[in-house]
């Protein structure tokens, strides 16, 4: 639990988990092999993880405390930690997994949870509700389980008063507001805030800080994944791809006739 300041506010220790992903919009598929072309595609912090960083920073600014960012990957992933430092996090850690590519959510979460335990005390762990590339929403909940703390997922607003978090969750059919005392793990939606764009002064200030590196092998985690990816290919959909041209009236007329013939409208 956090320590108290002179003003009686509780200092809050926050850990944010960020994932570096390819900019999905820049990805293309090789039509021959149906596999992904990743050369020259930019990498960035997964969108919702940026919201997680922003929420952590705002909470700290209000309440005092510290924000630590953790990422996992090859050393290129430290670019996303630089971005997090520029935004204003106090410390950043890279869990260096070298060239291990086959890491599933299980190994990922186990490594992050082990790193969090090693780094020390925390009140809040904040993650994005899912990653924009895999969209499995598994790593956050798994870290909560490993740390033995409650999970409050899909939060679209969060406030902290002392050690009590009030979060509004975006569920399928309702918005649900819950109150819960720390420690806990939150996953946040894109809606929760607008992440800051670091000003040049912030970048200069952050340039003095460097990310610390933890070696995955040293965290005492079994690195064998449970889930194996057998293949990953662009799906093939057989479509007619018939262009209907002409004047607007002719186009709509022939389209409607065709759709009736296909049996998808009328009757």
Footprint of other proteins on 27-56 (CB under 8 A):
27, 29, 35-36
Q: How far apart are alpha carbons 165 and 176 in whole angstroms?
A: 13
Nearest approach in angstroms of CB 204 to other proteins is 32
Cβ closer to other proteins: 67 or 221? 221
Give the three-state DSSP class for 33.
coil
Asked whether position 19 contacts other proteins by CB under 8 A, the answer is no
Cβ closer to other proteins: 79 or 191? 191
Cβ closer to other proteins: 12 or 147? 147
Of 9-17, 64-72, 115-123, 256-264, the segment contacting other proteins by CB under 8 A is 256-264
Of 56-64, 75-83, 119-127, 128-136, the segment contacting other proteins by CB under 8 A is 128-136
Within 50-89, which residues bind other proteins (CB under 8 A)? none
Of 57-65, 90-98, 114-122, 134-142, the segment contacting other proteins by CB under 8 A is 134-142
Q: How far apart are alpha carbons 94 and 11 in whole angstroms?
A: 24
Nearest approach in angstroms of CB 217 to other proteins is 20
Asked whether position 225 contacts other proteins by CB under 8 A, the answer is yes
Q: Which residues of 219-231 are buried (b: 16+ CB within 10 A; e: fewer)?
A: bebeeeeeeeeee
β-strand pairing of 65-73 with 12-18: parallel
Within 145-184, which residues bind other proteins (CB under 8 A)? 145-146, 150-154, 166, 169, 171-181, 184
DSSP 111-144: HHHHHHHHH---SEEEEESS-TTT----HHHHHH
Asked whether position 105 contacts other proteins by CB under 8 A, the answer is yes
Q: Which of 73, 106, 122, 195 binds other proteins (CB under 8 A)?
A: 106
Distance of CA 113 to the CA centre of its chain: 16
Query: In angstroms, what CA-CA distances link 36 with 32, 80, 248?
Result: 11, 22, 38
Q: How far apart are alpha carbons 87 and 97 in whole angstroms?
A: 25
Asked whether position 104 contacts other proteins by CB under 8 A, the answer is yes
Size of the site for other proteins (CB under 8 A): 81
Q: How far apart are alpha carbons 18 and 49 in whole angstroms?
A: 5
Asked whether position 142 contacts other proteins by CB under 8 A, the answer is yes
Cβ closer to other proteins: 146 or 206? 146
Query: In angstroms, what CA-CA distances link 261 with 9, 248, 256, 264?
Result: 71, 20, 9, 8
Asked whether position 244 contacts other proteins by CB under 8 A, the answer is yes
Beta bridge partner(s), residue 213: 94
């Amino acid at each position: 639990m956090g320590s108290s300041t002179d003003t009686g506010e509780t200092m809050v220790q926050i850990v944010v988990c960020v994932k570096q992903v390819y900019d999905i919009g820049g990805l293309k598929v090789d039509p021959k092999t149906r596999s992904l072309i990743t050369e020259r595609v930019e990498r960035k912090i997964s969108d919702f993880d940026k919201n997680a960083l922003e929420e952590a920073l705002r909470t700290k600014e209000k309440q005092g405390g510290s924000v630590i960012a953790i990422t996992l990957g090859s050393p290129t992933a430290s670019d996303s930690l630089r971005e997090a430092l520029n935004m204003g996090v106090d410390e950043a850690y890279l869990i260096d997994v070298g060239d291990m590519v086959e890491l599933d959510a299980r190994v990922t979460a186990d490594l992050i949870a082990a790193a969090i335990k090693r780094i020390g005390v925390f009140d809040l762990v904040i993650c994005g509700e899912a990653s924009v590339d895999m969209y499995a929403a598994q790593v956050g909940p798994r870290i909560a389980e490993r740390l033995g703390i409650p999970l409050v997922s899909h939060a679209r607003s969060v406030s902290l008063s002392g050690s009590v978090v009030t979060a509004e969750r975006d569920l399928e059919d309702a918005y649900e507001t819950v109150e819960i005392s720390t420690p806990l793990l939150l996953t946040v939606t894109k809606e929760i805030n607008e992440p800051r764009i670091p000003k040049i002064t912030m970048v200069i200030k952050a340039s003095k800080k460097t990310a610390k590196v933890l070696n995955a092998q040293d965290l005492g985690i079994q690195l064998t994944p449970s889930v194996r990816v057998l293949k990953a290919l662009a799906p093939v959909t057989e479509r007619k791809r018939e262009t209907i041209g002409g004047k607007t009236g002719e186009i709509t007329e022939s389209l409607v006739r065709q759709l009736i013939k296909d049996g998808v409208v009328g009757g």
